[in-house]
Amino acid sequence: MSNMIAEILATGDEIRSGALIDSNSAHIAQQLEEAGVEVIRHSCTGDDLDVLASILREIGDRSDIAVVTGGLGPTADDLSAEAAATAAGVDLVLDNKALGWVEEAFEKRKWPMSESNKKQAVLPEGAEPLYNPVGTAPGFLLKIGRCSFFFLPGVPFEMRRMISDTVLPRLIKMQGNHREFHLSRTITTFGLGEASTNERLAGLTERFPGIKLGLRAKFPEIHIKFYVCGNDEGVLKKMMEEGAEWIAQKMGNNVISPQGASMEAVVGNLLNQKKATVAVAESCTGGLVSHWLTNVPGSSDYFLFSGVTYSNQAKIDVLGVSSETLKEFGAVHEETAKEMADRVRRISGATYGLSTSGIAGPGGGTSEKPVGTICVGLATPSAVEGHWFGFPFKRRSRNKQIFAMTALDLLRRELMNDDS
Amino acid sequence: MSNMIAEILATGDEIRSGALIDSNSAHIAQQLEEAGVEVIRHSCTGDDLDVLASILREIGDRSDIAVVTGGLGPTADDLSAEAAATAAGVDLVLDNKALGWVEEAFEKRKWPMSESNKKQAVLPEGAEPLYNPVGTAPGFLLKIGRCSFFFLPGVPFEMRRMISDTVLPRLIKMQGNHREFHLSRTITTFGLGEASTNERLAGLTERFPGIKLGLRAKFPEIHIKFYVCGNDEGVLKKMMEEGAEWIAQKMGNNVISPQGASMEAVVGNLLNQKKATVAVAESCTGGLVSHWLTNVPGSSDYFLFSGVTYSNQAKIDVLGVSSETLKEFGAVHEETAKEMADRVRRISGATYGLSTSGIAGPGGGTSEKPVGTICVGLATPSAVEGHWFGFPFKRRSRNKQIFAMTALDLLRRELMNDDS
């Protein structure tokens, strides 16, 4: 890290009162840390002029950089400019550059500009207006105490754009020769819990003393995030590569992607590489497997069809599963899952057929097939497999997610192993 | 509000560095505010003893109540007890009551207890241990300065349980006769943007001076949240009822639920009430309509089948859409959507057939049918309708969501109007 320390302040009654979760601050922290600036503290407060001004003064006394989000709009409870002026002990003035931007933004959108929108161009004296390419409210940069404050809009995509376009380039310039590089990378995994992942990775920090490790449970995946920082970008990149390889080896085929890609993107890539297609027959996952697969742009190249056959009758009528199979084994069984996968593959003409049938809960469990039971069928050009898994979750949404991920993971492993 | 003011502090390097979004603080803020305690500030900092202790002292000087999350685990970077002891100027001591709870928690889980887990029972002298019914780390209550600090685990479900079981009852006791009631309610809506919703609700605060309004965009829904607070619970309840009625009238049939229920739960309820069933034919929504519908426990009572027919061939083979229709109108057209809805209704034997076909993007748009175009078909026992909508979004995920919501909303309106 360089020697600069930073703080983040989120403003607004919605966040203060808990009506809205503040996701801006996490994004900003990540971006600042990757730019080599250490974030020491986040704060959040509501639309109260005195409290705001006093927090700005506090931050101005102890940090070098601050990013403040929210409070730049045209209404009476948008107080950021006024609070900043109070904290800095300066007046508010109409900034002509900012006014030009606001007028231009309204013109572009063909919106009528009201008198109150002019307020968005009224800034503390001495502030530098910051261009907002995707919204109507300009940001501004102001020194309060020893700290450079970036005031940005609270709308996430406006804030994100201004962080990358304006804040980061300036931070790099401010750091000059003291710049440190901060690299991070994420490896997405599935199949091992947090504790087992930790065990597998024991020894990493001894082997690579410069690497800092962070596990992040993004249910049902585990994301392994690791960081390095220092002055020599080349050395750091090499260390990252070696670290990634070491981790990938320890995690084996639980690795979804060493580049942090999602399960559905990896499965889609593998299908594309093989010029193969897939069709799905879903029962308990209720469409989630298809929803994930079709989240990938271009998925129509390999995703042909999914039959969400919730009722037994639909399994028989649409897929052509035999009523004997359903009678003999029940809807939740490997044999039924196999027949679903095989049938959906045949009727769609896909290379692979994938199926799910299970008990997502909260009702419907029995002692033999409790909530959390999932059967997955996978039909390939050469075989049809059935798998049975039991998960300990009671919540429907958790079960649907881990069921769908388990099915996609079986397809992924098949595509990885099959070298045809 | 009573006269008590509160702060929230989230600790941990994952949150400080932005690797993890802090959703705990929003939950805590909401709970405290509903209990009549005003939250003035949230903070977050990493695992640094000095910074932690100094923030605890600051909070101790200015607030009555604080809730701190995280840092109660057995590892070296779990620093909450040590920081609290430093800030309060007391020693750390092994608390026998807490130790008993930790031992009991490990026994119950049949986990071996290591020496390091004893650390979880080492608390600042004078702290009162707080029972954690769902985890191994006890919390504790400690006065620092003039402020009562509740130290809770960072694991969300442990924290939530301890807020409701321990923190809230104590806050009510602490407030004694000064207790104020704080009621809130959410009305879920769809179909109007934030600005139009605001316009429709202009006049609410004049009509009901005690009601505070907050709009929350939960794309693609708008949630109207409103609050009242005061000493007389009966008066407040009446005000809430009248306010809800006023809002519902202004919003008309854009209201999904005056009780804050989700679209899929409302549609499910209406289908259940009518003993009706639904089947879906999805193209561009890729399974999302089915995924949402099946998120509701018990949805197998009314959800029969969904055909996610991404390819034209699947539309023909599985649904029986005629190749002439596809040739004449293309896949994205009201006529095709109508035929999809009609066919899926017939092959599944459902009361209602619902279909989507559109361009989710980012590719595939034309000047005639740009990205954001969605056609929805709805087949009822007496008619088949087709609808055409254009949305301005470019992002695939946004389009899938608003497309799926638009389709469900058409079904909801049909179910509301149809009094058969």
Task: State the Cα–Cα distance between residues B131 and A181, nearest whole angstrom.
Answer: 44
Nearest Cα of chain B lies from the Cα of A100 at a distance, in angstroms, of 24
Using the predicted structure, report yes or no on whether residue B260 has a pLDDT greater than 90. yes
Which residues of chain A have a CB within 8 Å of the CB of B40? 16, 45-46, 48, 51
Give the CA distances from residue A241 to residues A21, A266, B210, in Å, rounded to whole numbers and listed in that order.
35, 20, 60
- H-helix segments, A176-232: 194-200, 204-207
* Contact (CB<8Å) B33/A17: yes
Residue A386 falls in which region: left (phi positive, over 0), alpha (psi -120 to 50) or beta: beta
Which residues of chain A have a CB within 8 Å of the CB of B297? 361-363, 396
Name which CATH class applies to B5-178.
alpha beta
At A271, list the tokens: 């299908």
At a CB cut-off of 8 Å and minimum separation 6, what does A195 contact?
none
User: Strand ranges (DSSP E) for A101-146?
Assistant: 122-124, 128-130, 139-144
Q: Where are chain B's structural domains?
A: 5-178, 181-257, 263-417
**Per-residue pLDDT, A184:** 84
Q: State how far Cα A30 lies from the chain centre.
A: 12
* Contact (CB<8Å) A17/B27: no
**Per-residue pLDDT, B90:** 97
Q: Could you write out the DSSP letters of every residue in A391-406?
A: -----HHHHHHHHHHH
* Contact (CB<8Å) B22/A20: no
Q: For residue B11, list its beta bridge partners.
A: B45
Residues B8, B159: contact at Cβ < 8 Å?
Answer: no
Number of Cβ within 10 Å of residue B209's Cβ equals 9
Nearest Cα of chain B lies from the Cα of A32 at a distance, in angstroms, of 9
Task: State the Cα–Cα distance between residues B388 and B330, nearest whole angstrom.
Answer: 14
- H-helix segments, A110-193: 156-162, 168-175
Helices B263-273 & B396-417 angle (0-180, nearest 10): 30
Nearest Cα of chain A lies from the Cα of B227 at a distance, in angstroms, of 11
Q: How many CB pairs under 8 A join A and B?
A: 238
At a CB cut-off of 8 Å and minimum separation 6, what does B264 contact?
B292, B293, B295, B296, B299, B408
At A336, list the tokens: 């039924």
The fold of the A181-257 domain, in CATH, is Alpha-Beta Plaits (3.30.70)
* Contact (CB<8Å) A287/B303: no
Task: State the Cα–Cα distance between residues A71 and B145, nearest whole angstrom.
Answer: 32
Nearest Cα of chain B lies from the Cα of A125 at a distance, in angstroms, of 28
Residues in chain B: 420
**Which SS3 state, helix, strand or coil, does residue A294 take?**
coil
Question: Which of B33, B295, B311 is closest, CB to CB, to A18?
Answer: B33
| Chain B CA closest to residue A185 | B19
Residue listed under structure tokens 């009446």: B238
Using the predicted structure, report yes or no on whether residue B287 has a pLDDT greater than 70. yes
* Contact (CB<8Å) A317/B17: no
Q: Which of B51, B205, B296, B306 to mutate to test the interface with A (most CBs of A within 10 A)?
A: B306
Question: Which of A41, A310, A397 is closest, CB to CB, to B45?
Answer: A41
Task: State the Cα–Cα distance between residues A302 and B108, nearest whole angstrom.
Answer: 49
**Per-residue pLDDT, B420:** 53
Per-residue pLDDT of chain A (420 residues; tens, 9 = 90+): 457 999 999 999 889 988 888 999 999 999 998 888 999 999 999 989 999 999 999 999 999 999 999 999 887 788 999 999 999 999 999 999 999 999 999 888 778 888 888 889 999 999 999 999 998 899 999 999 999 999 999 999 999 999 999 999 999 888 877 777 778 899 999 998 877 888 899 899 899 988 888 777 788 999 998 888 888 888 999 999 999 999 999 999 999 999 999 999 999 999 999 999 999 999 999 999 999 999 999 999 999 999 999 889 999 999 999 999 999 999 999 999 999 999 999 999 999 999 999 999 999 899 999 999 999 999 999 999 999 999 988 889 999 999 999 999 999 999 998 765
Nearest Cα of chain B lies from the Cα of A2 at a distance, in angstroms, of 15
Sheet strand arrangement including A5-11:
A128-130, A139-144, A147-152, A65-69, A5-11, A38-45, B38-45, B5-11, B65-69, B147-152, B139-144, B128-130
Furthest-apart CA pair in chain B: how many Å? 83
Across chain B, how many H-helices and E-strands are there? Answer: 16, 17
Residues B263, B190: contact at Cβ < 8 Å?
Answer: yes
| Chain B CA closest to residue A23 | B21
Which residues of chain A have a CB within 8 Å of the CB of B216? 14, 19-20
User: Strand ranges (DSSP E) for A156-301?
Assistant: 181-189, 212-218, 221-230, 255-257, 278-282
Which residues of chain A have a CB within 8 Å of the CB of B309? 305
Residues B365-392 have pLDDT tens digits of 999 999 999 999 999 999 999 999 999 8
**Per-residue pLDDT, A2:** 56
* Contact (CB<8Å) B310/A309: no
Question: Which of A19, A46, A306 is closest, CB to CB, to B308?
Answer: A306
Nearest Cα of chain A lies from the Cα of B18 at a distance, in angstroms, of 4
Using the predicted structure, report yes or no on whether residue B1 has a pLDDT greater than 50. no
Which residues of chain B have a CB within 8 Å of the CB of A14? 214, 216
Q: Which residues of A81-95 are buried (b: 16+ CB within 10 A; e: fewer)?
A: bbbbbbbbebebeeb
* Contact (CB<8Å) B318/A317: no
Question: Which of A25, A298, A305 is closest, CB to CB, to B308?
Answer: A305
* Contact (CB<8Å) B16/A31: no
Which residues of chain B have a CB within 8 Å of the CB of A42? 15-16, 22, 42-45
**Which SS3 state, helix, strand or coil, does residue B394 take?**
coil
**Per-residue pLDDT, B50:** 94
Count CA atoms within 13 Å of residue B167 on its CB side: 35
CA quadruple A72, A78, A82, A88: dihedral, nearest 10: -60
Which residues of chain A have a CB within 8 Å of the CB of B306? 287, 306-308, 310
Question: Which of A17, A279, A311 is closest, CB to CB, to B305?
Answer: A311
Q: Which residues of B242-281 are buried (b: 16+ CB within 10 A; e: fewer)?
A: ebbebbbebbeebbbbbeebbbbbbbbbbbeeeebbbbbb
Question: Which of B214, B347, B396 is closest, CB to CB, to A317?
Answer: B347
Nearest Cα of chain B lies from the Cα of A331 at a distance, in angstroms, of 13
* Contact (CB<8Å) A22/B18: no
ipTM over 0.85: no
* Contact (CB<8Å) A40/B307: no
Which residues of chain A have a CB within 8 Å of the CB of B358? none
* Contact (CB<8Å) A21/B21: yes
User: Minimal CA–CA distance to A25: which of A145, A186, A183, A160?
Assistant: A160
Question: Which of A14, A294, A318 is closest, CB to CB, to B287?
Answer: A294
- Peptide bond preceding A74: is omega within 30 degrees of 0, i.e. cis? no
At a CB cut-off of 8 Å and minimum separation 6, what does B244 contact?
B185, B187, B226, B258
| Chain A CA closest to residue B33 | A17
Using the predicted structure, report yes or no on whether residue B3 has a pLDDT greater than 80. no
At B30, list the tokens: 């909401």
**What is the pTM for the complete model shown?**
0.81
* Contact (CB<8Å) A22/B17: no
**End-to-end Cα spacing for chain A:** 48
Task: State the Cα–Cα distance between residues B30 and A18, nearest whole angstrom.
Answer: 5
| Chain A CA closest to residue B318 | A318
Task: State the Cα–Cα distance between residues A338 and B262, nearest whole angstrom.
Answer: 35
**Per-residue pLDDT, A261:** 95
Q: Is the dihedral of CA B46, B50, B53, B58 positive or negative?
A: negative
* Contact (CB<8Å) B19/A26: yes
| Chain B CA closest to residue A223 | B19
Residues A355, A341: contact at Cβ < 8 Å?
Answer: yes
Which residues of chain B have a CB within 8 Å of the CB of A23? 21
- Sequence letter at residue A101: W
Which residues of chain A have a CB within 8 Å of the CB of B48? 40
Question: Which of B23, B225, B298 is closest, CB to CB, to A19?
Answer: B225
Which residues of chain A have a CB within 8 Å of the CB of B290? 282, 286-287, 290-291, 308
Residue listed under structure tokens 């901060």: A182
Residues B37-59 have pLDDT tens digits of 999 999 999 989 999 999 999 99
Give the CA distances from residue B316 to residues A389, B336, B357, in Å, rounded to whole numbers and listed in that order.
35, 11, 14
**Which SS3 state, helix, strand or coil, does residue A171 take?**
helix
Q: Which of A14, A205, A219, A311 to mutate to test the interface with B (most CBs of B within 10 A)?
A: A311
To which CATH superfamily is domain A263-417 assigned? Answer: CinA-like (3.90.950.20)
At a CB cut-off of 8 Å and minimum separation 6, what does A305 contact?
A279, A280, A344, A347, A348, A350, B307, B308, B309, B310, B311, B314, B318
Nearest Cα of chain A lies from the Cα of B418 at a distance, in angstroms, of 25
Residues B375, B358: contact at Cβ < 8 Å?
Answer: yes
Pairing of the two strands B278-282 and B303-309: parallel
Residue listed under structure tokens 């003039």: B146
Nearest Cα of chain B lies from the Cα of A88 at a distance, in angstroms, of 21
Mean pLDDT of chain B: 92
**Per-residue pLDDT, B172:** 86
**Per-residue pLDDT, B2:** 56
**Which SS3 state, helix, strand or coil, does residue B199 take?**
helix
**Per-residue pLDDT, B419:** 61
Residues B275, A269: contact at Cβ < 8 Å?
Answer: no
Residue listed under structure tokens 């989700």: B262
At a CB cut-off of 8 Å and minimum separation 6, what does B8 contact?
B25, B28, B29, B32, B39, B41, B42, B43, B66, B67, B68, B69
- Sequence letter at residue B240: M
Which residues of chain A have a CB within 8 Å of the CB of B348? 311, 313-314, 317-318
